Chains A and B, each alone.
Chain A
């Protein structure tokens, strides 16, 4: 929930680069792009597609992200952060349940959002997620050969407003214009729908590392309408790993009477448990051998044993499916297709139970770890205007309400309402001369405010002093297509917009985001300079290619001596690109622009004449306009 426009907002009319699709996962993240609606994953320079969602601070105060950071999980457990997604949009009060799961250190101020301590400083979850997004952005730019400034980022469908806003903030801190926060199961359905091109009812069962979502969609001629969604933001493959690790520790304790508390050992055990789980996916039995200071463990595990441990988690996910089916007013048998998404759906028990519930074999033709990113890329291509064939109509996963007398919630937008949507409520004063009104907005299904999730407190200010009950202020609560709340207030008498002050309950304030953005530019001076240099090089190379091409295409329009002047400018720019000086690149590029402008103008005029004869004026003007922007 953010009311003040902040730095880095897109101005319409700005030249458009590609919009990338990002799956910012609990365990792994991916970036993809769709060209002509055909989505593909963008790998790193070694061809690796997954980026581990891990951030580590090294001895020199430098951040390592992805594989490099993952390699430090065991060696530097206190300086290496994983499962950051679980902390997005969460408060210190929520930590109790999560603190024991990870070795790193947190802040303790109960009224604050979660901040992780790294090298003597505290970092919010959006700041750390921004490091991962920055890595994905750089990876995309390397693969694409041009800057990636805008993105669609996926979130669990069951994420609340604070968690969605935190994700948007992370994108902004990474220098990305977040064009859509997209629900993961919906993204997956888009990738599948594109693949299958069928009409009907589709259920998406998405079990990732740390979150579970279930969505039911109706597909009809390119419209993907979500009918209902349900989920659990604290249920995933992590829980399976932890259950295994707990069993190992319990066995060890029983055999030796000793407890294991060393963070590095616990971290190693968690990784060993994950590996055991994967091996039990392919075979019925597997040996777990774990030797670390203080613990020697060796035993053969069977798949049946694993299933006894994870059964309760799978059952929880199936209960969510039941809720969503009930909300959609559908019996499980009505579903035409079931799609499996998320790495944890590789577990045989999960597949079996889902198949049993729906009475049909679930789809998993597309890689369950990549399908969300691919779908995000498809949505990105829709937003960039490349495609109008498909349209997603999503819903809000949680009911939105406001606090009324006695701490009771008055629901104003029920869950599973198609977004965007809005509700307008009238507010008045209770005391003569009262000039401000307080509002408390919550999300959740329970009747009492204390059982729901607090989103924000609002204060309506500047209400004209009048007898109690006389002022009438209309407050509009709008859930936009990201599922993020916007609030506006208007005085019904004067028709004037009313100032509304927002205090998010679990988020960064506008001021904080602004400060972090500034800081990232000041402290990260070196990083920023490096990034700008890369962007300048990429842009210069594009200009060189375009210039070479037009010299080849329209040689007949060249005037005497002109070609030599342009070629010299191109050569100078090539030399600048090979160097490290960004100013020189920029100057050389300007010089090339100047040298080739008259030629470009003649070329544009010629094209325009050709188009008018051929395709009609509008298309020609548009084409010429586009040319103008690209120099």
Chain B
């Protein structure tokens, strides 16, 4: 390979290109920049800009030969029907609750792997926890349907050990959806928490315990403050993931657990001026989620202490 590239220098055109690369800064930059910039524009920016435009159009696609009429009516339609507003509020309440629950459920796991388990076992335990996350959201929803259905594994087990009142209605409600969603989100909480907890020096904890701090005190005064960055990152990731969920609420949730992302999908797929309406709703979700997360980070993000 190298020999081939050395022989390539026998060609004048190749030498000229190398020469240009050595002398001209714009050439160096454009070799690296052309493809990424073009891609960023086509894949990341243009679709969103177009979406913002469409959300303001009276109707889209435009009939041939007509000029677009601008209107805000797709944004005001959001407030027009309680159906939309309830789904929207439910999504944010649900997202907040799931984020808090995930934090509580996963924190001991991250603490156990990073601080209590023997260092030699850490990688293996971590891989064990990560393994199910390589499986698709739809497959994992299906697995939980099999667990929680009326004739599913849990109910079958409950009646086998003789619990009264089986089958329990476990599926298609908030409980099943919460169980399933935490199944999806826990990894996004675990990895930032693990990274933060791993950095805490064990001797700090030992010092505190030598000085007589009880367990809960060591937790609130040392572990929690020192892992704050991981907590904030984990919560942000989990919240953004939860408010965007589309498939799982349809599979594990019931009629009373419709999430806003699902509403957007339904609005978008309908006939009529569905595209402008879907666009407006998408932007409302995006803006609200980013504002919510931004506020959260502003309040809880650890500030870098000034070094003086």
Are A and B co-members of a single complex?
Answer: no
On B, residues with C-beta under 8 Å from A are none
